[in-house]
Chains A and B, each alone.
Chain A
Amino acid sequence: MTEQTTDLGVPAFRTGTESVPTTDDKQTGKDFTSDQEVRWCPGCGDYAVLKAVQSFLPDLGLRRENIVFVSGIGCSSRFPYYLDTYGMHSIHGRAPSIATGIATAREDLSVWVVTGDGDALSIGGNHLIHALRRNVNMTILLFNNRIYGLTKGQYSPTSETGKVTKSTPMGSLDHPFNPVSLALGAEASFVARTIDSDRKHLTSVLAAAAAHRGTSLVEIYQNCPIFNDGAFDAIKSPETKADAIIPLVHGEPIHFGATLEDGPMAGRGAKALVRDEQTGGVKVVATADVATSDVLVHDAHSPDPTMAFAISRLTDSGYLNTSPIGVFRQVQRPTYDDAAREQVATARNGAWNDDTADRAARLAALIGGGDTWTIL
């Protein structure tokens, strides 16, 4: 990698929460817990994510009243009711559009979207991709349980082909979406994947997502114990997870599998990712079979999303036996909401809202403009 040294005149990028007022008061998870009874099914992965978010939010040090959670419809979309922040439980699939309005209207708010695989990728697919391409400053938590829970068990756009559900007794016919590949294709500037049950990893991804200025998409694998129990067993079971999870850490060579005990690669996983010269993508090889220098080093900040996309394709589209986990991509580019506010600020040139009389004079000049005539 060559170091970028040319000054392109690009403005210094800011963090995701930079313009949100902070507090010196000590906050705890309890401060972010509302008085509403949580009503997910026992064993639902949503509980773990809620707990993780409640304990993570104090770390941001933001004023609670400047945080807004917006959700659509589905089990996970009940999330805002359980957080003592501002919140809106909106309509199916539309949370990103509502959050776009909030984030554009108010620079001083930390905006979060909570959605699911049906909400975000089926009925709301259009809003998701356009939020990602616009790069509105918000964090989208996409709970992927690969099933419709709230409507009681139909297949979702991330369910594996052939899934037998109430609506597909002979097996589902549709090929599933890979949410990470989709987001990368939609020009997303931040794309990550994590797991409901891995509190530490989940929290670290939330921190990175919140710090990113722009739309951060976080796919969270989340188990539905009622309608799709065990969908993520391979990546959760202690016996299999070493071979199932491909951990991505920026700047680190990508290894997974059982740790090698000895040899020149001791301490690394038995498997590695290397470039596949034939396809232009990446492939899994035995670490022992390749030179250290051939092992792919993860570069989440690469301006070119090709490698991140290639890595995302290692996710099983059928039953999940392998999946890369971590931050796939994090690049900086201007956000829609910053640019929109900048245009307004430029146009109003400091006068709006400061002086009522000036506003009235401007209005009178506007409506009294054009070709006019006077009748006495």
Chain B
Amino acid sequence: MEAVVAPEKEVKQLDRVIIRFAGDSGDGMQLTGDRFTQETAAFGNDLVTLPNFPAEIRAPQGTLPGVSSFQVHFADHDILTAGDAPDVLVAMNPAALRANLGDLPKGATIIVDTHDFTARNLTKAGYTANPLEGDGLAEYAVHTVDLTGMTVEAVKEFGLSRKDASRAKNMFALGLLSWMYGRPTETTHAFLAKRFAKVPDIRDANLAAFKAGWNFGETTETFVVRYEIKPAKMAPGNYRNITGNLALSYGLIAGGVQSGLPVFLGSYPITPASDILHELSKHKGFGVTTFQAEDEIAGVGAAIGASFAGQLGVTTTSGPGISLKSEAIGLAIMTELPLVVVDVQRGGPSTGLPTKTEQADLLQAMFGRNGEAPLPVVAPQSPGDCFDTAVEAVRLAVTYRTPVILLSDGYLANGSEPWRIPGLDELPTIDPDFATEKNHGSGEDAEFWPYERDAETLARPWAIPGTPGLEHRIGGLEKGDGHGNISYDPANHDFMVRTRQAKVDRIADSLPPLEVDDPSGEAKVLVLGWGSTYGPIGAGVRRVRKAGYHVAQAHLRHLNPFPSDLGEVLKRYDRVLVPEMNLGQLSLLLRAKYLVDVVGYNEVRGLPLKAAVLADVIGNLVAEAEGIDVDLTPTSSQEEQR
């Protein structure tokens, strides 16, 4: 699939590149980034993406709040993050330049569409003078190109209005960058042909703009170098590029297939979780029912109803939605019904930062209900891992008859990575094990007791309506042990509270030991994380190791219960660092449960943690723990260092 390289231009080999496309919300930057990513995936590079867009659908045009961007990091080797700082910025207007310039290292390449650098737009972006004139950008390699003007020229023959014609400028930019990095173009051709099949003029204009952008790179003297990043060596298998929300949707469908249960999603639209509702609504062929409810509470209520009726109840939301669903989740805990609750976390509290990432709902997931209300909590570590974690959430919910909270976040939801497509034989089989017989007493006196538990899992029987002889009533009032009738007995309540806790605790028996990555076995410092910080932590750890120091890394998928050996692992290390995008929620849990003095590193900026920052934090802790000086100054060939 390697594109043909025009001979007259110099070709430079690179091992990795970080490109950020930035423009106005209406400029189609997410689409541009997504197409570039697909081309890159098809080419075989490893990659990680970071979309970043405002909560407003169309913030005032040309302003800083209206800037939308898409960052893609791709390499000829295994990478873990979307990169700390872009090597290349494509800025479609003054606001996009101004909003992103601060993130660029010296020497970075900037490609600017000069068309919008008018007095009015400069003022809107807060510039008092045109930054393209003068020495303001002298430390960068700036290419000023009239992308819009050339796009309009390139699509002239299709007779579009000037406005429609200029809208294809993102495809011109994509064509130019595709040329520059030798991306294969077939997928974009096919995509445009399909997407605009019903509007031939627009389709042809976009294709023409894309080709014009490519040809411009090839012929102009503005760009004298193109770059080659060889495909990455990855584990054998079939791959596709996948976002967290898509992988999570597929995981829920797979959970339905593996358990033989029809999936019932009750949901209310909320950023950044809505795409899961959109995706599942397309897969009714798998027996999936999607119910867009009147509110968050009705979404979870209908899911609980569906579970009572024998389906796999699922509800998807973000933090504010969890707040609304709390009482209903408590009902699912009391009635001990399977339920998967997906929380795609975003910045909080309240409405917070709807489109930005954060992991500050951990304690809400753990404790955000009245009474002693334990439930299992799991978290994926990367976009592709959302698939496995969703399957695991289904396994826990069905096996243990309990609501499970899955904590994804905005970064995982919208970010993407190449994903090795698993074989179905790698997935667990999940047995709903519906009750069909009376389970208490024998002969004439036999009865069905809805709270007579499985000795091993402590799960109660799941008897669904339509099963003769097992008619029973459940509800939010405390249940008598075994028979399940209402009970206000003090000793019974104490017993039931402890039993519900014990049931969740027993899940730990089914978990594998915590994987600890400690290649030298000599590390004194362990870095422990959960959720989407896996990438930046891993990249930071690699950097410290490359500089010659020892550090161990472990990442938790199960946050409740913790793996059985976690306490023992923590005690093996002198210092434990816990980086989180919150003010120390996992730290609090670890300190409370294991009496270990973990060290937190905490940021709540609405953005993923940066590998370079984490490397420094780890380095300092290694220095302290080992009583040595740590110097992380990068050598020339190091990866992930920025």
Contact residues of A with B, CB < 8 Å?
21, 34, 36, 63-68, 70-71, 73, 80-81, 83-92, 94, 96-106, 108-109, 126-127, 130, 340-341, 343-344, 346-349, 351-353, 356, 359-360, 362-364, 366-376
Contact = CB atoms under 8 A, between A and B. Distances in A.
A73 B330 CA distance: 15
Give the residue among B238, B302, B304, B421 with the most A Cβ atoms within 10 A.
Answer: B302
13 contacts: A34-B473, A65-B471, A67-B465, A87-B473, A94-B328, A102-B308, A103-B305, A106-B310, A127-B294, A344-B284, A347-B283, A362-B285, A363-B254
Contacts of A344: 262, 284, 287-289
Contact of B289 (A66, A84, A96, A104): A104
Contact of A100 (B298, B310, B466): B298
A304 to B, nearest CB: 26
Ordered nearest first, which 10 A-B pairs have the shortest CB separation?
Answer: A101-B305, A89-B475, A97-B301, A101-B302, A347-B284, A97-B298, A98-B305, A87-B473, A130-B294, A105-B309
Interface of B: 38, 41-42, 44, 187, 233-242, 250, 253-254, 257, 260, 262, 264, 266, 283-289, 291, 293-295, 297-299, 301-311, 313, 327-328, 330-331, 335, 387, 421-424, 465-477, 485-486
B465 A102 contact: yes
Contact of B295 (A91, A126, A369): A126
A89 B303 contact: no
B473 A349 contact: no
Contacts of B465: 65-68, 86, 102, 106, 109
Q: Chain B binding site: helix, strand, loop or mixed by DSSP?
A: mixed
B294 A373 contact: no
Given A91-B328, A126-B294, A375 B289 contact: no
A127 B467 CA distance: 28
Given A104-B291, A371-B41, A97 B473 contact: no
A98 B287 contact: no
B371 to A, nearest CB: 13
Given A88-B305, A106-B310, 12 more contacts: A81-B475, A97-B299, A99-B305, A100-B301, A101-B266, A101-B304, A127-B301, A344-B287, A348-B286, A362-B286, A371-B42, A375-B235
Given A34-B473, A367-B250, A372-B240, A104 B306 contact: yes
Nearest to A93: B297
Give the residue among B187, B294, B465 with the most A Cβ atoms within 10 A.
Answer: B465
B298 A94 contact: yes
Contacts of B486: 36, 81
A229 B304 CA distance: 37
A370 B279 CA distance: 14
Give the residue among A64, A96, A98 with the most B Cβ atoms within 10 A.
Answer: A98
Given A81-B473, A98-B308, A368 B485 contact: no
Contacts of A99: 305
Contacts of B285: 347-349, 351-352, 362
A89 B238 contact: no
Nearest to B282: A347
B224 to A, nearest CB: 31
A353 B287 contact: yes
Contacts of A89: 473-477
Contact of B475 (A65, A80, A127, A374): A80
Contacts of A376: 236
Contacts of A346: 284
Contacts of B422: 367
Give the residue among B41, B236, B286 with the most A Cβ atoms within 10 A.
Answer: B286
A90 B475 CA distance: 5
A130 B299 CA distance: 12
Contact of B239 (A65, A103, A373): A373
